[in-house]
A and B are shown apart, each in its own frame.
Chain A
Amino acid sequence: MKYTMLIYETEADFNARTNDEQARYWGAWKAYHQALVQAGVIAGGHALQPPVTGTTVRLTGGKPDVQDGPYADTKEQLGGFIDLELPSLDAALEWAARCPAAAYGAVEIRPIHTM
């Protein structure tokens, strides 16, 4: 089955990408990414720029209403996603538990909707 791993991070986590913690932050992610590649389970994905760079659009009265910032103003924001090809939810949960963000943020597993 195909799953997407949604990675949620706090503002502090986003900051850790560029401040003096960045070596530790990227080190963990690099190792994790390598493990995914070696296992042959990765099928795509991206890290996203911080939520302040987001722009949200919704139609109000037929007209696009464009607002700066992310869709929802929550403590933890979507920081990226990884597509996985795995036999079961249980296998996906195992990979989720190994993800660096599981230790400092949260990781959600969703099956991919096939059209």
Chain B
Amino acid sequence: MDAPSIERVVEAVVRDSYGRLVSFLAARSRDVASAEDALGEALVAALRAWPLDGIPERPEGWLLTVARRRLIDHARHDRVRADGAVTLRLAVQRAEEAAMQPEFPDDRLKLLFVCAHPAIDPAAHTPLMLQVVLGLDAGRIARAFLVSPATMSQRLVRAKIRIRDTGMAFAVPGAAELSSRLDAVLQAVYAAYGTSWDDVAGADARLRGLAEEAVWLARVLVRLLPSEPEAHGLLALLLHCEARRPARRGSGGEYVPLSEQNVTRWSRALIDEAERELTVAAAHGTMGRFQLEAAIQSVHAQRAVTGRTEWSALALFYEALVRCAPTLGALVGHAAALAAARGAAEGLAALDAIDASSVARYQPYWAVRAHLLAETGADATEAYMRAIALSEDDAVRAFLAGRAGAAAERPGAPAT
């Protein structure tokens, strides 16, 4: 993610314009599916033509011209419900007027709030955003979420019918509701990035392919909500994780844990940008979950400058995080930081305090537990086996197997 290719820059403009147009049309017709349907071909055509011909002066106008042909076809075949088609055609007319202005209006925030609406199944929030706001195809989204394309399409279609038929408001929630509704939006973007608690397990392999799209959405959010500290916090968090991407794998593709990463392979530019976002967030004076998670990554990033990790600072940030968002990731991260700051025994005690039924299938718990047991000289074999069984990534499995072998061979280790 150093110097983006020309194709990538052009794609960014295409998807940016596409998202603005879908939002503009859907905000007026409430019919997301029809808006997408009208613009789908234009999106594909632009992705093909613009890298060769250059970005048109009025990108939205270009897309609308292609879309208009599609709309006329539609009217001819009468495949759309007549009343809906009229509303959509009116919206397209308005869009064409707007496309003559220097800057096309940006209704994407409204659409993001609709995608993460409490009346929509939370499992559909992230896929909806990726498809509706960025124009990703359902097949790609399905692969990232490990479901069949048919299942994903059905889920998305159902959500869009619900948006249309229940009459969801295309509006940014008022002040009273904003923070709780924004949280759902931020969480959906975060989910697109994957479990970025990468210190132990590496980013969730299933969702890794969507990391750039998640950063993209986070940037859009910061632009649209510049005075929301948590939006800046989320972007800072994702940028810090992205900065370490090149260092997470060794030359042979093997998994490298955070503590052993070569800091010269971290992206200085991304770390600097993350730090700037975090500073902007802090200036607002209200802490939140994503700012805390970003602050934790910021402490890790300082190792590139100071050569050491401030584990006591990390333990404090995790403590605050556990208080405001006690997710499993935060609880396990807290235990790991405590262990590094005050010894393995304290870390193990913190792990023991987590509800046992909730961690049965949570890989980072078993990886940290195995690591700490091995450190105290106790038998870590079972914990390693569980962590390996729960790892989806070959490289992570190989890494854990290597650690398990080393622990078993250590003098005093119980014979197997």
Contacts and interface: CB of A to CB of B under 8 A. Distances in A.
Interface stretch (B152-160, B166-174, B258-266): B166-174
A90 interface: yes
A87 B169 CA distance: 8
B119 interface: yes
Interface in B150-193: 165-169, 171, 173
A111 B165 contact: yes
A111 B169 contact: no
B368 to A, nearest CB: 41
Contacts of A87: 167, 169
A31 interface: no
Interface string B86-120: 00000000000000000000000000000000110
A48 interface: no
A: interface residue count bin: 10 to 19
Nearest to B171: A90
Q: Which of A89, A90, A93, A111 has the most CB of B within 10 A?
A: A90
Contacts, number: 25
Contacts of B168: 88-90
B165 A90 contact: no
Interface string B230-267: 00000000000000000000000000000000000000
Nearest to B173: A90
Closest 3 CB pairs of A and B: A88-B169, A90-B169, A1-B167
Given A88-B167, A92-B167, 17 more contacts: A1-B167, A3-B167, A87-B169, A88-B168, A88-B171, A89-B119, A89-B167, A89-B168, A90-B168, A90-B169, A90-B171, A90-B173, A93-B118, A93-B119, A109-B166, A111-B165, A111-B167
Interface of A: 1, 3, 87-93, 109, 111
Interface of B: 118-119, 165-169, 171, 173
13 contacts: A87-B167, A87-B169, A88-B167, A88-B169, A88-B171, A89-B119, A89-B166, A89-B169, A90-B171, A90-B173, A91-B169, A93-B118, A111-B167
